[in-house]
Structure 1
Amino acid sequence: MVNYANSNSIKKENKIAELEKQVSLGLWIQSIGQIIELSGLSGLLQLEDGDLTGEKQILSGVWIKTIGQVLEAISVSRQIGETDKAKLFEEQKIAITGDLLVSIGAAIEVAGGIKALSEEGISGIPLIIP
């Protein structure tokens, strides 16, 4: 006789593992996007003339977001398949720290964007504000 409960349990565990890998992949894709954005903004800032504090603040925020995003991606990847509860708990705390850094970076980026808008009004230089 086939044990349907056990079969369903295995299917559920396999589906959970598949979805966890999907989440991890999504975080890595976001990290790559953050790195691309950071690279582009850094290059643009190097080409800008003048002292544009808002743009520098935006770049600082993007740096912090990128660090947080990569930290979260690494941590979530390490959580997949981890059976040691203490290690899993530590990785979960690291993922939360990554989320916190992303949030702080976003707040700094917003403040820099507001400042860059006012600087653009004064200087007349059109800026890209992510």
Structure 2
Amino acid sequence: MNTQSETKNQTKESSHNDNKELINQLEKQVSIAVWIQFIGAIMESLYLSKIMLISEEVRADENERQIVLSSWVGSIGTFLDSIGTTTQAFTSDEKIELEGEVLSNFGDWIKVISSILDAHAGTQIIIEDKEKLRQPTFFP
């Protein structure tokens, strides 16, 4: 009877270790995914900036400039989130892991601010576009 109990405990411990190892691998894959998001965010910011450089209309519109700014702010947030997530995934030191968590969370807050800037500018553009549609076109 005692042998069966020991075998069950060993099986549970082995299963627990397997789960822990799997979670560790998945956390590392999440880290890679966050870096891919960062690359996408940088590409978006670069392309929006190029559009702004080419288009006088975009450069002249305060809301369009705010969208470009919010994209860069979001990229910074994603960068910090990436560093924090990677730090958490690749350390076993609890203090360093906590620092990574704090950095990742700070990056998330920066992304929230970026989203608010982007949403505000987008709303202003929609309001302006609706106004343009309401105004009758004058033909002399």
Q: TM-score, normalised by structure 2?
A: 0.79
Match of 2:80 in 1: 71
Aligned residues with identical type, % of pairs: 27
Match of 1:104 in 2: 113
Name which of 6, 14, 17 aligns with 2:24.
17
Deviations 1:42-61 (A, max 9, x none): 00011111411011000111
Q: Does the 8 A contact of 1:76 with 1:91 survive in 2?
A: yes
Structure whose residues are more often helix by fraction: 2
Shift of 1:62: 0.6
Give the whole-Å Cα distance in 2 for the aligned partners of 1:85 and 1:20. Answer: 15
Q: TM-score, normalised by structure 1?
A: 0.85
Give the whole-Å Cα distance in 2 for the aligned partners of 1:86 and 1:46. Answer: 44
Match of 2:137 in 1: none
Unaligned runs of 5+ in 1: 125-130
Q: Does the 8 A contact of 1:53 with 1:116 survive in 2?
A: no
Q: Moved runs in structure 1, 4+ residues, more than 6 A?
A: 121-124
Give the whole-Å Cα distance in 2 for the aligned partners of 1:91 and 1:33. Answer: 22
Q: Does the 8 A contact of 1:54 with 1:114 survive in 2?
A: no
Task: Report the more deviating stretch, 33-42 or 111-120.
Answer: 111-120
**With CA pairs under 8 Å and 6+ residues apart, which has the higher RCO, 1 or 2?**
1
Q: Does the 8 A contact of 2:38 with 2:82 survive in 1?
A: yes
Unaligned runs of 5+ in 2: 134-140
Name which of 60, 64, 67 aligns with 1:58.
67
User: Is 1:84 matched up with 2:117?
Assistant: no
